[in-house]
Structure 1
Amino acid sequence: MANEIMVSIECNSYNHENFIAEALDSMLMQKTDFMYEILIHDDASTDRTAEIIRSYERRYPDIVKPIYQTENQYSQDVHFELFNIERAQGKYMAICEGDDYWTDPRKLQKQVDYMEAHPECSMCVHAAEKVSAVTKKTVSAIRPSHKDKIYSVEEVIEGGGELFATNSILYSRDKIPEMPEYYLNATIGDYPLAICGALSGTVYYMDQNMAAYRVEVKGSWTDMQVSDVSAKQKHLQDVAALLDEINVYTNFKYDYVISRTKRRDRFYILLKQLKIKETLKRGYRQFYMKPEFFRRVFKRITI
């Protein structure tokens, strides 16, 4: 048992030459009483990312296990996450993209200890900070709760894709042995994965800041989404399609929260487009009274 890999770290990277070393160092600094592997998928980077990864592969051949693509898979609508998932040996999967990093050397140990003691738990997440890739300063926190708690399916659905930091996720491969169809059809991976975790067991949140999630990364998916209203609108249409699939998958058990979440997303798009009259129609007005509305207003409605 001591020689078995407990955690497989999934790391997808593309043109991350300025970040990949910090990401790998944060994984290699983990202090654990178990073995782990780092599964890197480089999606045909055009900068020095692959070269940097190779240097780590030479130094840590038993831990760092890369795949180097010669053709970009993302542009071909391939679910590149599956390249790492399908070769994983660990009981648990942890996620850390190539432009993010962990800040606590005992992050993995803490999460695994909890999940080993709670076999009903399918996914463990934690707080993180958002760090600007430009200024290198902390801009905000990803802290959905100010105490440890178990999140319900409804809370995960309504929380959206930004409820948890992607690089805080650790999930059980026993509870989620393969990805459901709605995950494979989705254009994003973290939101449907969190929902999958909630549907497969309990999702436990640790109120400890143990990672840094980078924002303002030039050319990143998030950067493109927030800078273009039409791109954001297309994204929310994709989210609505995902939620419709989940509704069918769950036999409409969560129809109420799914319908409400879709209306809320539509409300914020209308607000962004300054279609104020439409936001005052029945079915939308309720969102003006939500605490989330005031948070977004103070952030100048950056959705």
Structure 2
Amino acid sequence: MKLLSVAIPCYNSEAYMEHCIQTLLSGGEEMEIIIVDDGSVKDRTPEIADEYARRYPTICKAVHQENGGHGEAVNTGLRNASGIFFKVVDSDDWVNEDALLKVLETLRRFVYGKETLDMLVSNFVYEKEGARRKKVMKYHTAFPKDRVFGWDDVKFFMTGQYLLMHSVIYRTELLRQCGLELPKHTFYVDNIFVFQPLPYVKNIYYLDVNFYRYYIGREDQSVNEAVMIGRIDQQLRVTKLMLGYYDVTKISSRKLRSYMTQYLEIMMTVSSVLAIKSETKENLEKKAELWQYLKKLNLRLYLKLRLGFLGQGCNLPGKGGRKLLLLGYKITQKFYGFN
């Protein structure tokens, strides 16, 4: 059995997938690298996947499927994972090789020790095209270091500081137990990946290393603002799914309840901001419908989010509303890292 399975969703990724794979190969035989070719047709992605599986048969596994989108590629990776722990690395991103060795050393301690680990958190770096300074998302204000802890030990999440797909490694069996299944042909499902499993997570460890390198800069990237506005229906779909997974107002842990509520608040803000910035009547109607959907689904949560600072900014008309909206928009930029 492998220590860590990493799924790499690939769709026409010829230009950058090899760099991603090479950084993961530095982890050696404890790694299982699952290269998921998600119906690529425009380049050599399928051939590259097969070549790595041939050259590294004990480490790399190539899986080919009809195009199902990023979420289905993650689902396929999870279905094929034999490792004790599971992570997703997008094909245009990569990992720091020294940090990977520290991650494996930490995971190994839990496999052979007495304590169980549900989720490992590490830092990630925004590798933004053209930026001189690299922004690092750290979690030292939120989490204790160098020990196992639970949600009640969480300290303080700063504005714009959230767990993203780049920062988490889950115990594989936990993802299966919580029934994680990401929707097909939908962008922004990484939000589900770092939200739906959380009530199942009991034991957490924060490793303060800059592990994941998150590339930002391609014009067609899903977190590019113009692209996000064009895909607002998918953003809305993901937000509605997340609202329906749990009644977060009834989650027993106060810290986890607060965190998940804040995450839903930022999802509502992102959806509302994109609708307003699109400047179309159709999208403004979709924004109003989203808030009505939440009101019918969970009145208590609706009132909390609607009457909050960001909720008012998303829904108030006039100059004051626009000022609050601008603040909310800056927060969403930090959250997603889009331009």
Q: Establish whether TM, by shorter chain, passes 0.5.
A: yes
Given candidates 122, 126, 131, the residue that maps to 2:122 is 126
- In 1, Cα distance between the equivalents of 2:190 and 2:334? 25
SS of equivalent residue, structure 2 residue 218: coil
- In 2, Cα distance between the equivalents of 1:29 and 1:226? 36
Q: Structure 1 or 2: larger helix share?
A: 2
Query: Structure 2 regions of 5+ residues with no counterpart?
Result: 280-287, 289-304, 314-323
User: 1:130: Cα distance to partner?
Assistant: 1.1
Give the equivalent residue in structure 2 for 1:101: 94
Identity, % of aligned positions: 17
Deviations 1:28-52 (A, max 9, x none): 1126xx6322111111222122232
Deviations 1:121-168 (A, max 9, x none): 211021011113x4486642222435753573998xx99997234244
Give the equivalent residue in structure 2 for 1:7: 4
Give the residue type in structure 2 aligned to 1:80.
A
Given candidates 67, 74, 81, the residue that maps to 1:88 is 81
Question: Structure 1's 78 and 284: CA in aligned 2 closer, same or farther, altered over 3 A?
Answer: closer
Give the equivalent residue in structure 2 for 1:283: 307
Scaled by the length of structure 2, the TM-score of the pair is 0.66
Given candidates 28, 31, 34, the residue that maps to 1:36 is 31
Query: Structure 1 regions of 5+ residues with no counterpart?
Result: none
Give the equivalent residue in structure 2 for 1:204: 205
Give the equivalent residue in structure 1 for 2:172: 173
Give the equivalent residue in structure 2 for 1:193: 193
Question: Structure 1's 262 and 123: CA in aligned 2 closer, same or farther, altered over 3 A?
Answer: closer
Question: Structure 1's 55 and 91: CA in aligned 2 closer, same or farther, altered over 3 A?
Answer: same
- In 2, Cα distance between the equivalents of 1:68 and 1:139? 34
Q: Structure 1 or 2: larger strand share?
A: 1
Name the stretch that deviates more: 259-268 or 48-57.
259-268
User: 1:53: Cα distance to partner?
Assistant: 2.5
Give the equivalent residue in structure 2 for 1:65: 61
User: 1:293: Cα distance to partner?
Assistant: 4.3
Give the equivalent residue in structure 2 for 1:112: 107
Alignment of 1:126-275 (within 5 A): 126-132=122-128, 134-135=129-130, 139-146=134-141, 148-149=143-144, 150=149, 152=151, 163-180=162-179, 183-185=181-183, 187=186, 188-195=188-195, 196-223=197-224, 227-229=227-229, 231-232=231-232, 234-236=234-236, 238-247=238-247, 253=252, 261-267=263-269, 270=272, 273=276
User: 1:179: Cα distance to partner?
Assistant: 4.6
Question: Structure 1's 268 and 41: CA in aligned 2 closer, same or farther, altered over 3 A?
Answer: closer
- In 1, Cα distance between the equivalents of 2:23 and 2:14? 15
SS of equivalent residue, structure 2 residue 118: strand
Do the aligned residues in 2 keep the contact of 1:92 with 1:173 (CA within 8 Å)? yes
Deviations 1:76-102 (A, max 9, x none): x97232222122221111221211111
- In 2, Cα distance between the equivalents of 1:82 and 1:161? 27
Do the aligned residues in 1 keep the contact of 2:269 with 2:332 (CA within 8 Å)? no
User: 1:226: Cα distance to partner?
Assistant: 5.4
Q: CA RMSD in A?
A: 4.3
User: 1:232: Cα distance to partner?
Assistant: 4.3
Question: Structure 1's 28 and 267: CA in aligned 2 closer, same or farther, altered over 3 A?
Answer: closer
Give the equivalent residue in structure 1 for 2:301: none
Question: Structure 1's 160 and 64: CA in aligned 2 closer, same or farther, altered over 3 A?
Answer: farther
